Amino acid sequence: MFALKFKANIVILKRAGYFIILTAAITFIATIITCIVNPDIKAVMEGIGNSAPSQIKESRGIDKVWSYIVHNGFAVPLQMFILAFVPIQFLYLANIISTSSLLGVFFGVALQASLDKGFELIISSIPHSVLELFAYCLLAAVLFELNQVIRTKMINLVKKDRERDSFIKKILKVTRTYLAFVLPLIILAALLETYAADMILHLLR
């Protein structure tokens, strides 16, 4: 039993690893495209700023940490969970793709404004960004299995008890993974984004 659980966890981690490679590639491509396109820096920064919840923009200190946790730790995972119920494969990756794309645009704009300061900003953003995206990728890795069960049920509605048991087990697996790993990682990322990012930026300058 332990060996089976260990093997299942390894599969989830590998899948999360594939997703994190995808996010890294999207971020890199978005950064390169932004640098090539050379958009209006002020307009892009205003657009990125407007995309952030007003509660996060207006809060400071521990209130800002809580705002990050509410948005990144509750709202975004809930959206991913809901999208996993749609019988379309990888639709639950929409939040991850949009987040990594915006991050790449932000990096590209920062590099355009100033190469040195841009790299400093990127380095200071890496710790919390990696943690946050990895948490989402870990959640996506277990949502993959839940979505797979839902798609199977949609294809063959004749199956009954065994499918229902599998569905409940997948829901419980998603819940356990979220509470044990995803939410703690998001909380740590929120603390790093609020306090450590500025400290790293000051050290680099």
Task: For residue range 101-139, list pLDDT tens digits in order.
Answer: 999 999 999 898 888 888 999 999 999 999 999 999 999
What integer pLDDT is reported at residue 64 of this predicted model?
85
Quote the CA–CA distance of 129 and 180 in Å, as a whole number: 19
Q: Does the structure show a pLDDT above 80 at 40?
A: no
pLDDT at 7: 66
Q: Domain boundaries in the chain?
A: 2-204
pLDDT score for 25? 97
For residue 2, the model assigns a pLDDT of 46
Instruction: Output the pLDDT for position 165.
Output: 53
Amino acid type, 101: S
pLDDT band at 39 (very low <50, low <70, confident <90, very high): confident
Q: Which residues of 144-175 are buried (b: 16+ CB within 10 A; e: fewer)?
A: bbbbebbeebeeeeeeeeebeebeeebeebbe
The pLDDT value given to residue 203: 85
